[in-house]
Amino acid sequence: MKTYEHVYDILSKSPDFVTGESLAKSLGVSRTAIWKAIQTLQEQGIDITSVRKKGYYLEKGDILLPQDISKQLNIPVYFNPDSNSTQLDAKHGMEKNNPTPALYLASSQKAAKGRFDRHFFAIPQGGIYMSIHLKPNCYFADLPPYTMMAAAAIVKAIQRLTGINTEIKWVNDIYLNNKKMAGILTEAISSIESGRITDVIIGIGLNFSISDFPKELANKATSLFTSEKPSITRNQLISEIWKLFLTIPTSDLIKVYKEKSLVLDKQVTFEQAGKTYTGVAKEIGDKGQLLVLTDDGQEKWLSAGEVSLTSW
């Protein structure tokens, strides 16, 4: 770990001010090095109060610690401070034959995209942007429902760590208080020769601690924490999400997904083959399909790749 990471670690665990002298002594560095570390943290958006003779106090904010997350998950974690997209970072890692599973992290993204190439709001501090690269090497019919699994892991991790109840809007969005808080993008790469899915990249963008949104998103988007100081760090949530994803049986994650559905038994509108339908969402299949009973009495199973809900 770098000096500023060590300083952050100490400040984040202290309930009171910590003097520069005690920081320097515990880390075996100079007071100048401590001052530079504080500057670095503040440049990264960490809110630190400095009071003469009292020292430093961390008010709000955190930094990503890929080494700590890697130890928690026992998989490689790659951090790119200048990322355009963690999905692209994962694809570059795949080209380099990086080991899998592997997690790719960024403090922000310059070209964040969601499903159907839609723009995803990302800021320099307060968001979680990450992608995991897996090698399932199986036929499409046998592919685990990765989007469902990731969504379930997110809501379960948040509930475990904070007690906050979030819900899942079919098929890939996490909602809090009827506003979008996170989105998931799953991409698969197949081999024409074998007909197998060789690689899967699951990307997650999550609003962790954001108090202000652009005017056009203010009524649609929210954050896990808004004005209050987060009760957990991004590192804790990232580790918990992927720990659950990698260790909990698929059937249990599917059960959580269904239990946390925001759309079941509610009216939805969707488009299919150029025609608009309205009906009631009745069931979610184990592969993520949504059964809708339309107003004209039809039962339609919707595939996430074919249609998208326009209202619920």
Enter the tokens of residue 5.
């990471």
180 assigned ligand-binding residue: yes
Residues 191, 219 contacting (CB under 8 angstroms): no
> Which long-range contacts does 214-222 make (Cβ < 8 Å, 24+ apart)?
214/121, 217/121, 219/179, 220/179, 220/180, 221/121, 221/179, 221/180, 221/181, 222/176, 222/177, 222/179, 222/180, 222/181
Can the peptide bond before residue 101 be classed as cis, meaning omega within 30 degrees of 0? yes
Torsion, CA 31, CA 35, CA 41, CA 42, rounded to 10: 160
Q: Are strands 77-79 and 102-106 parallel, antiparallel or unpaired?
A: parallel
Peptide bond between residue 171 and the one before it cis (omega within 30 degrees of 0): yes
- Residues 240-243: contacts with CB within 8 Å, 24+ apart? 240/157, 240/160, 240/161, 241/150, 241/153, 241/154, 241/157, 241/204, 242/73, 242/75, 242/103, 242/132, 242/153, 243/72, 243/73, 243/157
Any residues with CB less than 8 A from the CB of 78 and at least 6 apart, and which? 66, 89, 93, 98, 102, 103, 104, 105
DSSP character for 261? B
Determine phi and psi for 309, rounding to 5 degrees: -65, 140
Dihedral (CA of 241, 134, 260, 277) sign: positive
Radius of gyration of the CA atoms of the chain, in A:
21
Extract the annotated binding site.
Answer: 109, 180
Extract the annotated binding site for biotin.
Answer: 109, 180
